[in-house]
């Protein structure tokens, strides 16, 4: 079972177990992790689930598609090379522990 470590903007860490097939966004919502708003419910249309994926974990996911890349242009906090929409990061049985940092704001 994959684990996701969420690091809040204040540095607080939350480690939760995830289900294979869930996105990092869904896992956050199901575990009441603050800071991931997910206003569109995971349909890749709002960018309020923006996270920064740890350097060591970036290669474990496919690169953003054109739609995600376009939405990342309008995120509320700085877009970095590690920026992703957590609704697009689906966990598989190949993932063990994934670390993401939540930006200071989603709006």
Nearest-5° angle of CA 100, CA 75, CA 5?
A: 10
* pTM for the structure as a whole: 0.96
pLDDT, one tens digit per residue, over 67-84 is 999 999 999 999 999 999
The span from the CA of 96 to the CA of 107, in Å, is: 30
Of the options 3.10.20.30, 3.30.420.40, 3.40.50.300, 1.20.1260.10, the CATH number for the domain spanning 3-101: 3.10.20.30
Q: Would you state the pLDDT for residue 59?
A: 96
pLDDT, one tens digit per residue, over 22-44 is 999 999 999 999 999 999 999 99
């Amino acid at each position: 079972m994959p684990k996701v470590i969420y690091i809040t903007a204040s540095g607080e860490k939350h480690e939760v177990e995830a289900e294979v097939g869930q996105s990092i966004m869904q896992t956050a919502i199901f575990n009441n992790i603050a800071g991931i708003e997910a206003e569109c419910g995971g349909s890749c249309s709002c960018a309020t689930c923006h996270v920064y994926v740890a350097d060591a974990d970036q290669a474990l996911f496919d690169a953003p598609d054109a739609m995600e890349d376009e939405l990342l242009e309008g995120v509320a906090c700085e877009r970095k090379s590690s920026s992703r929409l957590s609704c697009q990061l689906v966990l598989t049985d190949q993932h063990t522990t994934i670390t993401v940092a939540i930006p200071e704001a989603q709006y």
